[in-house]
């Protein structure tokens, strides 16, 4: 075994460490709660709504599901705010238009286990904004398949993601390039990006993030979910 392979193995053991509370079934349960919450939030977002009101509604939905805290803020971004990167404040007072785009990104904690999920939706019939939302999902699954079938490392996953985004005419935001997930807080084990990993990330421990932006228009799209097999996306 050469040194690079040996070092990757050591890092994988370190970065994929789980504690005594780790439970794959509970991780899948909080994933379902998270995905369901995203759909409930999206269904209530309508043209004319102010972004800040949508954020408050999203927090209410999470609280009703028993996810009263999060390991990151609740993001519902409208229009031009969909180009913002993680942690960047939205421009205030943005109102969702009739033919607009919006994204949802939540990272709730349920009991001891973390969830994380994101998706993008459109409020009307703008074909390019719909294509943007659809392409974020499509790129996610193309990259996930690359992980599943090719044994790709975190680094090569995002090299592939960049190429897939460019082929579809979008720019990939590498400030959102995946991360660890697990028992709260995952940052105690590893808080760096998935895109930095020199090993093949294991299932049910990592989140793949795809954030694309239009090259010259003020909108983008986001999709994220756990690295899992096809049956979890049927």
- Number of residues that make up the chain: 234
Task: State residue 67's pLDDT score.
Answer: 82
Task: State residue 87's pLDDT score.
Answer: 87
Query: Which comes out higher in pLDDT, residue 220 or 187?
Result: 220
Beta-carbon contacts of 205 under 8 Å, excluding residues fewer than 6 positions away, are: 16, 18, 180, 181, 182, 227
> 193: which 2 tokens?
């990006």
214 band by pLDDT with thresholds 50, 70 and 90: very high
CATH number of this structure's domain 3-229, picked from the four choices 3.50.50.60, 3.40.50.11890, 1.10.3720.10, 3.90.230.10? 3.90.230.10
> 74: which 2 tokens?
């609740």
> 223: which 2 tokens?
């999709």
Q: Would you list the domain boundaries of the chain?
A: 3-229
- pLDDT by residue (tens digit) across 11-61? 999 999 998 889 999 999 999 999 999 999 999 999 999 999 999 999 999
Burial grade of 196 (CB within 10 A; 0-12, 13-18, 19 or more):
middle
Task: State residue 6's pLDDT score.
Answer: 72
For residue 186, is pLDDT > 70? yes
> Element (H or E) spanning 212, and its range?
strand 206-213
- pLDDT by residue (tens digit) across 193-213? 999 999 999 999 999 999 999
Task: State residue 69's pLDDT score.
Answer: 78
Task: State residue 232's pLDDT score.
Answer: 97
Q: Provide φ and ψ at 197, rounded to 5°.
A: -80, 135
């Amino acid at each position: 075994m050469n040194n690079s392979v040996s070092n990757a193995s050591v890092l994988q053991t370190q970065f994929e460490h789980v504690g005594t509370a780790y439970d794959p079934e509970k991780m899948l349960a909080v994933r379902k709660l998270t995905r369901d919450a995203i759909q409930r939030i999206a269904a209530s977002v309508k043209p004319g709504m102010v972004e800040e009101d949508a954020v408050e509604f999203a927090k209410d939905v999470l609280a009703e599901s028993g996810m009263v805290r999060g390991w990151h803020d609740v993001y519902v971004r409208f229009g031009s705010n969909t180009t913002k990167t993680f942690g960047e404040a939205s421009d205030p007072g943005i109102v969702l238009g009739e033919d607009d785009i919006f994204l949802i990104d939540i990272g709730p904690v349920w009991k001891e286990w973390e969830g994380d999920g994101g998706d993008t939706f459109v409020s009307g019939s703008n074909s390019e904004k719909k294509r943007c939302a659809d392409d974020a999902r499509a790129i996610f699954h193309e990259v996930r398949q690359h992980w599943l079938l090719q044994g790709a490392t975190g680094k090569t996953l995002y090299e592939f993601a960049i190429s897939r985004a460019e082929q579809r005419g979008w720019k990939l935001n590498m400030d959102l390039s995946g991360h660890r997930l697990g028992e709260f807080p995952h940052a105690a084990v590893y808080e760096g990006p998935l895109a930095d990993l020199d090993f093949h990330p294991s299932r049910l421990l990592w989140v793949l993030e795809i954030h694309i932006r239009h090259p010259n228009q003020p909108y983008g799209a986001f999709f994220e979910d756990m690295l899992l097999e096809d049956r979890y996306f049927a």
